[in-house]
Every structure is written in structure tokens, then in C-alpha cells.
Structure 1
Amino acid sequence: MANPTSRITSILTDPLTLAIGASIALLLIGELVSPGFAQGQQIVRLLTVAAILGIVAAGQNLVILGGREGIDLSVGAMISLGAVLAGNMMNGQNEMIPLAILVAAGVPFLIGLVNGLGVTFVRIPPLVMTLGMTAVIQGGLVVYSQGVPSGQAAPMLSAFINRPFLFGIPGILFVWVLIAIAMWFLLRRTAFGYAVYAMGSNERAATLNGIPVRFVRVMIFGLSGLFAGLAGLCVIGYTGSSFISVGDQYVLPTVIAVVIGGTSLAGGIGGYWGTMAGAVALTILQSVLITLNMDVWMRQVIFGLTLLALMLLYGRQKQLRV
């Protein structure tokens, strides 16, 4: 029987618990710095922003879980691509929303598959492959849009993202919950999820046990592109318009959110619930820094130092609890 003290210690040091605790502490700090920071409507707004980060981080989570030092640096460009394609597809027309969703998710999914094929069959390191793809996408967006912001969100999409949908909660938060349930089911209740953990822990052993490692790795990069494209759709719904670098700001935060949630950068250990908590904590941290009138470059420095600190603390450990 487990020692109650050790069990309590284990719970308190669990990354999910720490991320939730950090979120609460940051809300209190924000309230002290700017009264009203922790009020209901402000919290809903923060969760809306966190949902966008959390959606794209779902794909990043899969890539990192898959091991081989996998990080998808192209998610920022994929978000921009999804936002630009969706904006131009809708152009302010509600009836075009279904097609915009299909295109915004489908095109990045196909590009993600190309990333996966390059990593899996050509053996290009994930960082190199996705960084190169980022340049290709950004160049294509410049040609497509001529460097000028184009496209407009449909009113129904903007209302779904920004306004109360049910019980005073925006629709995007319900979508995020559905994605969380789908991620949990995928990772914990399907053969595909078991394969992701297995190859992230030991790819050679997974291969010897008959797991289709190549197929799974290609698919996780495809899913990373799909989630990034959906996040791009949410971005244009949130802001109303898009530009070709709108997704750049999400690249580093997606990695930090995944690591805050307890997913090992070595792969094979972690889960999406922690990533969700990490996205919330990171969003609140960013809001507190903005409230303190910190410059963008200083916020980037803090994010970078946060990632390095987390890696030193537990990001690469193999014994983390999931």
C-alpha cells in the first residue's frame, strides 16, 4: 500500500498540479498589479486566448511524444496559412464557413504529411525539416497575398469565437474541451496512441514489436499541421482579419506549454491534460507581463528562460508521472 505522505508529495509535484497552481498564483499577482484582472469576464477572455494556443499545442504534443527529438517549428507558418486561406475563403460570408474549415485544416494537414515523410523516409532531422517547410510556406504566402493582409472572418465565426455561446461561455472553449476529450481517447484508448508512446519511449523496440512506426510518425506530423490550421481558423475568427506572419508568435509558446504540462522532450511520457494547463498558465503569464508594460523582446526572453528552466527541472526526465 502506498505511503499517504509520498502519495500527497507525488500529487503536489505532478506537472499538472504545478501548472494549475502557477495559473492561480499568476491570477492573484495580476489582481494585485491591476484590480479586476481576475474577474469573471477577464478570465473567460484569457481562456479564449489559451484555447487557441492549446489547440495548436495539441499537434505539437503529439510530435514531441513521438520522440526522436521531435519539435514542429512549422506550426507558426501553418497557423498563418490556415488563417489566410480561411479568411480569403470566407471573405465575410457565413455560408463559406464549412468550406473554409475544410481548407484551413486540410491543406496544413497535407503539408504536415510532407513533413512527416521527410523526417521518416528521408531521415531529415525534425527541426531542419520543419524549419525548411516554414520558409517554403512563408514564401508561398507572400506570393499568394502579395504581402498585403487579405480576407475577412465571417460574422458567425467571429461571434462563435468571441461572444457567449452557452452559459456565457464562448464556443471556442467548448471546441477545446471536445479536442481534449478526443486527444485523451486517441492517446489512451486507441492502438495509435499506444504506438505514439511506444515509439517515443524506444523506437527500435516498437519496430521490433510490429508497431507501424513510419506510418504513425508521418501521421503525427500531419495531425500537427491539421491542429495548426484549425488554430489559424480560430485566430482569424478572434481577430477578424489575418496577415502572413500572424502565427509566428505561437511557435515557442506551443513547446513551452507542452513542457509545462509534463511531456518529456525526449518523448514517450506526457499527455494533453497537462498541455492544456500549460497553455492556460502561459497565457496568464503573458497577460501579466503585458499588464506590467514589458516590451515584446523582454517577454520573449522570459519565455525562453522559462523553457530552459523547465528543461532543467523535468523536461527531459524519463520518470515523470503522466
Structure 2
Amino acid sequence: MAVPNILTDTTPALDDRDGSLVHSVITDAWGLHFAQGGVVMAAGLRAMAAVLGREDLGLASASATFCRPVACGPVTTHVDVLRSGRRGAQVLGSLRDATAPEGEVSVAMTAVFTDPAIPGPQLAPVPRPPELSDAPTTDGESIGNAFPLGFLDNTAWHVATGSAEPASSAPIPRLALWFRFNDPPAPAGVAWHPALLPIPGDALGSALVVALGGGDSPVGSVSLQIDIQFLAPTTGTWIGIDSTCTHVGNGLATGVVHLWSEAGAHVATATQTAMLRGLGASGTRSTSDDRP
């Protein structure tokens, strides 16, 4: 059986009768109970790029607000091009899955596209964490799959090792990881489609393991919003993830995720807000299921 490919499985198809409507299918290969949030965002952004139809422009930034969990299966994205100018465009997307009530949106997205050849200064001052200096060469310490669907069966997440501080002495809760798709989304030397970067960018839960899970226990959370800035082209097999939790309170957690290429380029920065689930007032796990 062929290994699922994320690029193929988020392919947009324009509707034959409505040029603003795009059809996609998110298979069970990309589910964690529901479809993984970053995968949903990737499918929506690819739909928005397809309707925009501007090969001269690339993704600069995007935001997704998750209104409802998205079931694996067919999804549709209605796209409005708010502006399409000489050097940039702004696009609005409303994604619905097959279970969404009539008239309701599952995920609302905005995206900014710009000309990557705009001249100007270049500055990348954020340092790469030392434990992300070298991509894995062996299986290393991997994170197993405790979910009934296949997202973690079709990706690999390895805890990064190196000269980092112990988590207990770090100034803020953070975890460094390496991520890859089991079937690469691009050949060697060819840049990934940037819309795929929200998938490793959906990684606040990794820092919550450190912040609330004692360093080794998963913490239940549901994404409410992901914002991402696309900073540089991504090539290679592995993506380095530096996930930090910046605040927990009022039933919510927020954090920042920096993404790095194998070659050390800072390729994206994501911020994420999530609602905590199954935690008591003290931060310990409870038996309740606090769905939003």
C-alpha cells in the first residue's frame, strides 16, 4: 500500500460551476480523532491560492480561526479575493466539512500573498536553538501514536537532543523537536509548498507537555487560532520545531513556535491559542471533558 502523501492529499479542485468554491479531501491518514488543525489550514490555504491564481505571488502570512472540529473527509472552501494588486493580495477563505450545519463555517482563514522579489533589507536575528543544529540521522527518540487515526502513523516527531538546558531550568516551558512526513512533500532540493508549514507549526501541545504534563504526559487542548508568518523557502526532509508556551490561564494556553530548515534557515514563526481540555483547576488531569 502506498504511503499517503500530504501534498497529494490536500490538492485543491476548483468547482466546475463556481470559481470561488474549492473542493478538497482530507483522508483519515491525517486525522487525530478529527483532522489535524495544521492539515486543515494547509488545505484551506492551498484552496485560497488556487482561486487567487497568481504564480508571481507567494504566501507571506496567514491566520486560521477554528470554529468547529473538522471531520476527515470532503471539505469545501469558499474563497473571496479581497484585493489583488501588483505586488500583493489579500484573500479570505471559509472552510466547511461535511458535518457542518448549513450556513456555518468550520474554519475561517485570511492570507496575505506578496511578491517574494520585492527588494529591501534582509535580517533574521532569531538564533537557532543549539539542539536543532543537526537533523536526525537515525530513528532516535520518537513520539509514539496513541490516537485511533493515522496522522502520527504518517509523520515522525523526534525529540531533539544536544546542548540545551534541562526543561526544569529553562526560563519558559519549551520543547525542541524534529518533524518529517514519511513520504516527503517535495523532491530533494525542491522547496515545500509553504501552505504545508502550519502542519509542523501546530505544535503548542509539545510545549504544554513541559508546562503542564510533567515533561512526559500529553495535555489535552483544542486549537482556537493559529497565525503564521512565512519567512523563507523550506527544503529538505526534516523541519526543526522550537515550541514555547508563553501563558496559561482562563482555560486557555498560548505559545510561539519557530520552524527551522535542515540547513538552519528560519522558515516560519507561528503563534497559537488553544483551549485546555480535561484539566482541573490546579492544572492536574481530571475526568471531565471540557469541550468548547
TM-score where L is the length of structure 1: 0.28
Which structure exhibits the higher relative contact order, with contacts defined as CA atoms closer than 8 Å and separated by 6 or more residues?
1
Query: More helix by proportion, 1 or 2?
Result: 1
TM-score where L is the length of structure 2: 0.30
